[in-house]
Amino acid sequence: MPDETRPDTRPDTRPDTRPDTRPDTRPDTRPGTSAPLPPRELTIGDLSRRTGLAVSAIRFYESRGIVAPQRTAAGHRRYLRADIRRLSFVKIAQELGFPLAEIAEQLARLPQGRAPTKADWTRIGRRFRRDIDARIARLARLRDTLDTCIGCGCLSLRRCALYNPEDCANTLGPGPRYLMGQRPADAGVERE
């Protein structure tokens, strides 16, 4: 027979059927539900899966200051969900031919520690749009020049838009100056 003077220390195994009326203050649930929110911080593996980048690439971008993870007490990297967009932007911009230094310079203008707003991205987008438009114009000139050369049949180097007698175009700078939009007249070459 149990001793009535001593408290019962056995755990209560009966189910609690009372409704829980306390407000849910856990930050890891959606308001009004018990559905978990996606984690605010991501491991490097999570970030790799979400962006399609190798872990080594993410570490490389970290070394260039493009992402700046927090460290846990154990030294593990934890990335913000906003880093998914940052790294996705880097991937796309590099595919378009932008150098990493320029991409990093633009991303440095974004806020740290929070997801960039539409206005933040619009500011960066304007800069890249100007560069993309200039690239499209250069590519169109190149296409038109090549179409002219391939179908020209002029048989005269003196009338050729690309002919560079005596390397006169070198006075305009390095590279294929005429393909880059300059004309022989810019180098002082008179054509008939």
CB 138 within 8 A of CB 102: no
Residue 76: how many other CB atoms lie within 10 Å: 12
- In 86-149 the beta strands, taken as DSSP E runs, fall at none
| Residuewise pLDDT in 10s, the chain (192 residues) | 555 545 444 555 555 455 544 444 444 444 555 655 456 789 999 999 999 999 999 999 999 999 999 998 899 999 998 899 899 999 999 998 899 999 999 888 888 767 788 898 898 888 889 989 998 998 888 787 776 666 565 555 555 656 666 777 778 888 777 667 777 778 777 755
Task: Indicate the residue among 61, 92, 116 that finishes a domain.
Answer: 116
CA dist., res. 5 & res. 3, Å (int) = 6
Instruction: Kindly state whether residues 51 and 104 are assigned to the same domain.
Output: yes
Q: Which domain holds residue 97?
A: 38-116
- For residue 27, tell me if it sits in a domain: no
In a domain, 79, yes or no: yes
Report the CATH number that the domain containing residue 43 is assigned in CATH: 1.10.1660.10
Looking at the structure, tell me whether residues 104 and 131 fall in a common domain: no
Give the count of domains, the chain.
Answer: 2
Judgement on whether residues 143 and 103 belong to the same structural domain of the protein: no
Residue that the structure tokens 């890891």 belong to: 28
Residue among 92, 87, 101, 96 nearest 59 (CA): 87
Looking at 116, 134, 160, the residue that finishes a domain is 116
Please indicate, yes or no, whether residues 45 and 112 belong to a single structural domain of this protein: yes
Report the candidate in 144, 140, 154, 141 with the shortest Cα–Cα distance to residue 191. Answer: 154
Helix (H, G, I), strand (E, B) or coil at 179: coil
Question: Which segments of 96-117 does DSSP mark as H helices, in order?
Answer: 100-107
> For residue 88, is it within any domain?
yes
pTM score over 0.85: no
Whose tokens are 């996705």? That residue is 88
* Residue located via tokens 């593996």: 45
Q: Which of 67, 148, 142, 79 is nearest to 103 (CA)?
A: 67
Residue where a domain stops, chosen among 116, 147, 172: 116
